[in-house]
């Protein structure tokens, strides 16, 4: 019998079922599964049937015995042929049995955008697909679908992913967006006049920031930033570390929605209407937390590597900086440069905290670390509150 493979993701133990399970090898398969479960006690078992070709009554009895020990046992990636066996014998009524997902190829698809968790492609004229970097991304996909559903119900103009597919050895999610184009693409088409792109971009996020949800419905972004403080304070001098903590702790608690990874790749325009996508980082919090990540997208990330902005957006760093300033002015509803500078300095603190933490965790070179550390301390010297 082929060695039984398994993998772990948080508290879930995925055990692979391979080839054929019948009377000739059922006892050996069951012994192997139980040995793996014994070595990983306390984890929730999910049986992955992606390469299971056949299961007999002897194999089904293994499932029954496992279910008695684990009432929430689930079987995923079941082929249509094997699924019919589970369905005919009533297993689909007793436990979670999920059919395998359709496989697609994105190699020849139009690339739209790349984020922290995945890349987005235009699959056809009606559909976009997000390919997740994590090969065990099913929990992430389910969470993003739930976030999209919550946002839609609360009034956010978003598209809810409707299907899951397999891409290579990982997963993707499908979303219907008929003939939609990203705001990034609109910027590339007209870098001289950014007014319409800025309007789509900022009016969308201001509407999101005006929506309040119930406490506990979504993660609190401020709690994540306080974890950054815990990580960074030993890398700053005592005075700046203390001020950083005081500023973050002083941000008012909020149940208003923020996107968490807001940039123009995540805003699609369909028939003149902006639609927000990529909802896996949806959270609640003060708008300054959103502005910090927006600042990074158009300025912070490109300070030491200008080509990075062009690779990500397809337009140059100068266009990105101009777009950021115009966007901030529209968000604040003012052309007063002093007022814009003041809020930008507040956003810089969030942005540079994130960049410095990222550099330290990735063992970046000393020049890069010192650059973002200096920028963070300079921004800390300029503000006394992150409220605006």
Q: Yes or no: is domain 110-176 CATH 3.30.200.20?
A: yes
pLDDT bucket at 104, cuts 50 / 70 / 90: very high
Pairing of strands 74-78, 44-55: parallel
Which band of pLDDT confidence, cut at 50, 70 and 90, is reported for residue 114?
A: confident
Rounded mean pLDDT, 352-372: 96
**Segment 283-329, tens digit of pLDDT:** 999 999 999 999 999 999 999 998 989 989 999 999 999 999 999 99
Residue from 274, 261, 270 nearest 122 by CA? 270
Predicted local confidence at residue 1, as pLDDT? 56
**Half-sphere exposure at residue 195, Cβ-oriented, CA atoms within 13 angstroms:** 1
Asked whether the beta carbons of 78 and 100 are under 8 A apart, the reply is: yes
Mean pLDDT, residues 75-93 taken together: 93
Beta strands in 80-194 (DSSP E): 96-99, 110-114, 118-124, 127-132, 163-167, 170-176, 181-182
pLDDT digit string, tens, across residues 207-221:
999 999 999 999 999
Number of helices followed by number of strands (H, E) in the chain: 14, 15
What is this structure's pTM?
Answer: 0.78
What integer is the mean pLDDT of 177-198?
95
Question: Is a pLDDT exceeding 60 seen at residue 259?
Answer: yes
Give the C-alpha separation, 353 to 225, whole Å. 9
Mean pLDDT of 23-31: 94
- What pLDDT, on a 0 to 100 scale, did the predictor assign at position 3? 78
Q: Which residue has the higher pLDDT, 264 or 159?
A: 264
Q: Is pLDDT above 80 for 115?
A: no
Cβ neighbours of residue 35 under 8 Å, at least 6 residues apart?
none
Instruction: CATH number for 181-382: choose from 3.40.50.300, 2.60.210.10, 3.90.1200.10, 3.90.1150.10.
Output: 3.90.1200.10
Residue 112 has pLDDT above 70, yes or no: yes
For the chain, the structural domain boundaries read: 6-99, 110-176, 181-382
Q: What is the mean pLDDT of residues 323-341?
A: 98
338, pLDDT greater than 80: yes
Supply the pLDDT for residue 10: 83
Structure confidence at residue 117 as a pLDDT band (50, 70, 90)? confident
| In contact, 77 and 49? CB cutoff 8 Å | yes
How confident is the prediction for the chain on average, in pLDDT? 94
CATH topology identical between 6-99 and 181-382: no
Give whole-number Cα distances, 248 to 14, 251, 288, 318, 376, in Å: 39, 5, 10, 30, 13
Order across the sheet with 127-132: list the strands: 110-114, 118-124, 127-132, 170-176, 163-167
Q: What's the topology of domain 6-99?
A: Transcription Regulator spoIIAA (3.30.750)
User: With contact defined as beta carbons under 8 Å apart, do 98 and 78 qualify?
Assistant: yes
Rounded CA Rg of the chain = 24
Q: Which two tokens stand for residue 52?
A: 């299971």
CA angle 156, 161, 162 (to 5 degrees): 130
Phi, psi at 217, each rounded to 5°: -70, -35
Whether pLDDT at 116 is above 80: no
Q: What is the mean pLDDT of residues 78-103?
A: 91
* Separation between Cα atoms, residue 192 and residue 209, nearest integer Å: 28
pLDDT value at 183 more than 90 = yes
- Residue spans of beta strands (DSSP E) within 215-337: 257-258, 267-270, 273-276, 283-284
């Amino acid at each position: 019998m082929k060695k039984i493979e398994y993998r772990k993701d948080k508290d879930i133990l995925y055990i692979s079922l391979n080839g054929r399970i019948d009377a000739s090898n059922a006892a050996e398969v069951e012994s192997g599964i139980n040995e793996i479960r014994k070595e990983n006690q306390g984890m929730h078992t999910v049986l992955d049937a992606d390469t299971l070709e056949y299961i007999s009554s002897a194999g089904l009895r293994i499932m029954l015995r496992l279910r008695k020990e684990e009432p929430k046992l689930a079987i995923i990636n079941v082929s249509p042929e094997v699924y019919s066996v589970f369905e005919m014998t009533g297993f689909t009524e007793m436990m979670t049995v999920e059919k395998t997902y359709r496989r697609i190829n994105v190699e020849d698809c139009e690339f739209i955008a790349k984020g922290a968790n995945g890349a987005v492609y235009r699959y056809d004229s009606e559909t976009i697909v997000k390919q997740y970097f994590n090969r065990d991304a099913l929990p992430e996909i389910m969470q993003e679908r739930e976030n999209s559903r919550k946002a839609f119900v609360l009034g956010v103009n978003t598209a809810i992913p409707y299907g899951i597919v397999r891409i290579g050895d990982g997963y993707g999610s499908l979303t219907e967006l008929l003939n939609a184009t990203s705001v990034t693409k609109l910027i590339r088409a007209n870098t001289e006049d950014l007014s319409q792109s800025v309007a789509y971009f900022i009016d969308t996020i201001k509407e999101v920031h005006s929506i309040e949800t119930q406490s506990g419905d979504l993660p609190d972004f401020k709690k994540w930033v306080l974890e950054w403080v815990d990580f960074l304070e030993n890398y700053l001098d005592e005075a700046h570390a203390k001020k950083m903590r005081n500023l973050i702790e002083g941000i008012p608690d909020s149940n208003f929605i923020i996107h968490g990874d807001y940039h123009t790749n995540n805003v699609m325009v369909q028939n003149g209407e902006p639609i927000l996508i990529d909802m896996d980082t949806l959270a609640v919090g003060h708008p300054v937390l959103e502005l910090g990540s927006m600042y990074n997208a158009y300025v912070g990330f490109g300070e030491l590597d200008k080509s990075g902005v062009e690779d990500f957006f397809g337009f140059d760093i100068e266009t990105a900086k101009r777009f950021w300033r115009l966007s901030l002015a529209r968000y604040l509803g003012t052309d007063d440069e002093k007022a814009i500078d003041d809020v930008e300095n507040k956003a810089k603190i969030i942005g540079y905290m994130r960049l410095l933490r990222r550099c330290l965790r990735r063992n970046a070179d000393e020049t890069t670390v010192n650059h973002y550390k200096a920028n963070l301390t300079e921004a800390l010297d300029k503000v006394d509150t992150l409220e605006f």
